[in-house]
Amino acid sequence: MVEVKNKDAIPDVRSELAAAALEIASIDKKGWLSRRWEIAAKSKPQPIDRVEVERWLDGLESRLRNHDAKVLTWAPLVPDA
């Protein structure tokens, strides 16, 4: 789940998520009066270890920061990750 603070940044965030091999599941406005948006994305299941997950997440967070967006939550793809 990614939070985007500016609607105009959504296309750039979508591109970053696509570059990270993530498929957009939904894009929703966070609240009726809010200017923030939430993008849910998913990937194909693949076995990865915790170190790789942390490295991937750090890189994704860094790229999203350039578009005033941040990762809110994530779920591991394998139970032991």
Residue 79 lies in a domain: no
Q: Is residue 77 part of a domain?
A: no
> Would you give the DSSP letter of residue 32?
S
CATH number for the domain that contains residue 66: 3.30.70
Contact in structure between 36 and 30 (CB atoms under 8 Å): yes
Q: In this predicted structure, what is the pLDDT of residue 23? A: 92
Res. 74: pLDDT tops 90: no
In a domain, 34, yes or no: yes
d(CA 20, CA 37): 19
pLDDT on residue 45: 74
Q: Is residue 80 part of a domain?
A: no
78: in domain: no
Q: What is the pLDDT of residues 10-69, one digit of tens each?
A: 999 999 999 988 999 999 998 877 789 999 998 877 667 888 888 888 999 999 999 999
Q: What is the pTM of this model?
A: 0.79
| Residue numbers of the domain that contains 15 | 2-71
14 falls within a domain:
yes
Q: Are strands 37-42 and 2-4 parallel, antiparallel or unpaired?
A: antiparallel
